[in-house]
Structure 1
Amino acid sequence: MSDILNYLKEHSNSITDTLLRLTKAESPSHTKDLVDKCGQVLGEEFERLVGSSVEMIEKIEVGNQYKFTYGKGGDEGQILVIGHMDTVWDEGALPIRQEGNLLYGPGVFDMKGGLTITLWALKALKETSAQLNKKITFLVTTDEEVGSTHSKEIILKEAEKSSVVFVPESSIGPDGAVKTIRKGAAQFLMKVEGIAAHAGINAWDGASAIEELAYQILDLKKLENRDEGISVNVGVVKGGTRGNVIAKEAVAEIDVRITKKAQAEKITEAILNRPVFVKGTKVEVIGEIDRYPLERTEAVIQLYDELKGIAASHGYDLNEGSSGGASDGNFTSGIGIPTIDGLGPLGDGAHTEKEHVDLSNLPYRAALMAEIIQRYANK
């Protein structure tokens, strides 16, 4: 058993204490004051455990973000760890409770468990005097659950200086598999303009925006390809004013998921440049690919193989898997930086009332993070 894992197992209760502090500091994405309080707790934990550089990045519309650094070396070639402290849960919406080794609570799995293991991975590297020839940057954002609009720029800025990116997002339950594939995501808004008319007196003078939108939805679904992992979902539809009026306006919100960066241009063009089916209507679509996929490249396979080897030395198997959801790791992967995701602790139930982590797994996952950081900090 490694010195790092031994150290973390000896401090398992303290690791749990850190997770409880972060979980109790509830941090709904849209409630800045609460997110900022959680950031203060996170900063205090970092200073207490690691005692290195803390930089707060002030934000107006969302919670303040944090950049923690540890180790020596310049910016170029740094090791980047990306996490977020915001959650999908309103304050008080989900009680915190412990049942045996399982801790339930808001954001405990997505992703305060991941923040906790990263803090303790750095703590273990410090206490075991592990050699690190590169700087470690731990970037924690505050709007991942609502699109990362206010954090994308700094994520890309830090990624461009990095040799590798580790993302301690929630693992794949129930066995804690890491994510070597994440789908890319795009959102589009379709606006249809028709011609209003009385549905009884002069129905043929009108052009229904709703009817056009119905044709559009059916045609959009033809872009799906299950074998290639392309999905198109029209999740929100609005239109019309009254049942006896030909609808003048209709809108739809469209979500697209892709598995390969090469798919992006083709499907974007197909969605933005729509044919018109109902004479007299006009169709406008706005939107773009928000996050390119995290693809299972040779570099990602190498990262996984090394993680699997570390896990085996700790006495367990580490599996890999894919996710249809996107994360901030998609940004870094999208610009070609080797990125692996799902390094958070064993657990399940993200975004549900059953959200939980296995406390007994925290030392193992922190050790996994610590040893992969150490390995890449000395390459």
Structure 2
Amino acid sequence: MSELLADIETLVRCESPSSDHDAVARSAEVVAGLGRRVLGADPERIVIDGVTHLRWRFGDGPTRVLLLGHHDTVWPHGSLETHPFSVRDGVLRGPGCFDMKAGVVMALHAAAVVPDRAGLSILVTGDEELGSPSSRALIEETAAGCDAAFVLEASADGGALKCRRKGVSHYQVEVTGRAAHAGLEPEKGVNAGIEIAHQILAVAALADPESGTSVTPTVVSAGTTVNTVPAAAKVEVDVRVWNEAEQLRVDRAMRDLRPVLEDAVVRVTGGINRPPLEEGSSSELFALARQLSDELGLGELTAASVGGASDGNYTAGMGVPTLDGLGAVGGGAHADHEHVVVAELPRRTALLAALVENVLAKRGPSGATNPAGESGTARR
């Protein structure tokens, strides 16, 4: 436990806001150093568009199990001064500790106790908080053909594993109108502000609460001065869905938006960012996790469905069995009260190690994952 805590402290004390590539590179070196000591192996350093990612691959064959995490955070430089690292009364605090530096350290320590790591890969990316723009292809390349992807994002409330995640789409609706003097000749203008209001109402109407589909206009801007008819306006749109059919429905509808005002022009950019992590992607692995948790005396595991997305959405979208939320137990991601429950760290690390060992050791007759083995007894 002391080594686990010390390694989490080392990583938390290295600030790594996603937008600062130099800071992310420094954090990557800290992660690499921890991995070198814990695993006895150096990672590949993969720099894409200035962002540093790390990958360990064990054995000569293909990757069969992927441990997936990220070392960037949403916290800006100087956050350690306002949110210092601490461990008091069984609670660990510090910027990025819950999301998800503790999970990165847990992945390294879990892999270290797996007796035969052949077929295991560990991928720690540096831009997940931005939507993984540079790492998505790397994630998909590493996960291709895997029997399981275990995602070290923090748990849901009460330590629940994240067995279902909404898919995410992002759009920008831009309107071009025509400027005119708002006092002298407003009738000669085409008011982009009014047009964007029509578009916001049309976009919001695409939501389907019964299906759990949210379509939310967020950041809105229009106009330049108080006495000018706005010539341009735009709105950002956030879409969350539980299934692919809904994601495609909204995507088609967004691209079919048309102007209401004569001579206005509407342009829609963006699209699907992450596919949904549907329940079927995680059901078998969750059953295995519950069995192992019981055998290890860790108590009953629960499952949660969450609206937020992770890189596990990408692996699930490829058809790779994916189990998420295996990282720290605690709460307050991205918030002032971010924290980790210390007592759960070794327990969840032991569960992760058992999951990796079982999936690496068991294969069905067709080569597909058979997590519980032919007898139904998990290996410990």
TM-score (norm 2): 0.91
Shift of 1:319: 0.8
Identify the residue that residue 342 of structure 1 maps to in structure 2: 325
Pick closer, same or farther for the CA change 1:113–1:167 going to 2, 3 Å. same
Aligned to 1:278: 261
Aligned-pair distance for 1:32?
A: 2.1
- Specify the code of the residue in structure 1 equivalent to 2:288: E
Q: List gaps (5 residues or longer) in structure 1.
A: 1-11
- Does structure 2 retain, via aligned residues, the 8 Å contact 1:53–1:69? no
Q: CA deviation at 1:226?
A: 1.2
* Corresponding residue of 2:4: 15
Partner SS for 1:137: strand
Q: Does 1:65 align with 2:47?
A: no
- 8 Å CA contact retained: 1:184, 1:257: yes
How far does residue 68 in structure 1 lie from its aligned partner after superposition? 1.2
| Superposition TM-score, scaled by structure 1 size | 0.91
Report what 1:351 is aligned to. Answer: 334
- Displacement of 1:53: 4.9
Offset of residue 276 of structure 1: 1.9
Matches for 1:127-166 after TM superposition, within 5 Å: 130-131=115-116, 134-166=118-150
The equivalent of 2:287 in structure 1 is: 305
How far 1:167 moved relative to its partner?
Answer: 0.1
| CA distance in structure 2 between the partners assigned to 1:339 and 1:142 by the alignment | 20
Query: In 2, Cα distance between the equivalents of 1:282 and 1:54?
Result: 50
Is 1:79 matched with 2:68?
no
Q: CA deviation at 1:131?
A: 4.7
What is the deviation of 1:208? Answer: 0.7
Mapped contact 1:190–1:252 kept (Cα < 8 A): yes
Is the Cα–Cα contact under 8 Å of residues 206 and 250 in structure 2 kept in the other structure? Answer: yes
Question: Per-residue CA shift, 1:174-222, capped at 9, x if unaligned?
Answer: x110101111111111111112222233222222110011011111111
2:352 aligned partner: 369
Q: Give the aligned partner of residue 178 of structure 1.
A: 161
Residues 177, 264 of structure 2: 8 Å contact kept? yes
Q: d(CA) in 1 for partners of 2:43 and 2:233? A: 49
Other-structure match for 2:29: 40
C-alpha contact (below 8 Å) 2:35/2:42 kept by paired residues? no
Match of 1:7 in 2: none
Indicate which of 40, 45, 50 corresponds to 1:56.
45
Aligned to 2:303: 320
Amino acid at match of 1:232: V
Distance 2:266 2:348 in 1: 50
Secondary structure class of the residue paired with 1:302? helix
Question: In the alignment, which residue of structure 2 is the partner of 1:6?
Answer: none
SS in 1 for 2:243: coil
Aligned to 2:87, the other structure's residue is in SS state strand
| Aligned match of 2:181 | 198
Report the Cα offset of residue 29 of structure 1: 1.0
Query: Which amino acid in the other structure matches residue 21 of structure 2?
Result: K
Name the counterpart of 1:115: 104
Structure 1 residue 59 displacement after superposition? 3.8
The 1:315–1:340 alpha-carbon spacing in structure 2 relative to 1, beyond 3 Å, is closer
Q: Give the Cα separation in 1 of the matches to 2:41 and 2:190.
A: 65
- Per the TM alignment, residue 18 of structure 1 is displaced from its structure 2 partner at its CA by 1.2
1:224 correspondence with 2:211? no
Q: Which amino acid is the alignment partner of residue 194 of structure 1?
A: G
Q: Deviation at 1:372?
A: 0.5
The reply on whether 1:90 has 2:76 as its aligned counterpart is: yes
Identity %: 35
Is 2:87 the partner of 1:102?
A: no
Q: Which has the higher contact order (CA 8 A, sep 6+)?
A: 1
Give the 3 Å change call, closer, same or farther, for CA 135–52 of structure 1 in structure 2: farther
4+ residue runs over 4 A deviation: none
Tell me, in whole angstroms, the C-alpha distance in 1 between the residues paired with 2:12 and 2:116.
Answer: 31
Equivalent residue number for residue 240 of structure 2: 257
| Alpha carbons 1:114, 1:344 under 8 Å: kept | yes
Instruction: Tell me how far apart the structure 1 counterparts of residues 228 and 200 of structure 2 sit (CA, whole Å).
Output: 21
Distance in 2 of aligned mates of 1:121 and 1:371: 8
Q: Secondary structure at the match of 1:245?
A: coil
